[in-house]
Amino acid sequence: MLENEFLEMAQDCKDRIIDKNKELDLLKIENHELKKDIMTAYGLVRVLDNLLEECVVDREVKNLSDILRTFLSNTFDKILAYNIEDD
């Protein structure tokens, strides 16, 4: 009887590990996609910032662009600093 209970417990642990690994794989994919989105947004804001330098727009618009660029730059730096691989 004890052996059967042990086998059931081991199978339950194995099933839990498989489920957690699937969940982890999905989180890695989501993390990778979010990093790509942040990098894309940062690139677009850099282009927008360069275009705004040549245009006559309110200073508030340029300030908002600068704030957004700085925020995304800092976020991008954090991504690079963590250096977590997306296996």
Distance CA 32, CA 12 (A): 30
Q: Output the tens digit of pLDDT for each of the chain's 87 residues.
A: 688 899 999 999 999 999 999 999 999 999 999 989 998 998 898 888 888 888 888 888 888 888 998 999 898 888 888 765 544
For residue 85, what pLDDT is reported?
55
Looking at the 3D structure of the chain, how many domains does it have? 1
Tell me what pLDDT residue 48 has: 87
Instruction: Indicate if the alpha-carbon torsion angle 61, 63, 69, 75 is positive or negative.
Output: negative
Range of the structural domain that residue 32 is part of: 24-87
Give domain status of residue 16, yes or no.
Answer: no
Domain-located, residue 30: yes
What local confidence, expressed as pLDDT, does residue 87 receive? 47
Separation CA 21–CA 13 (nearest Å): 12
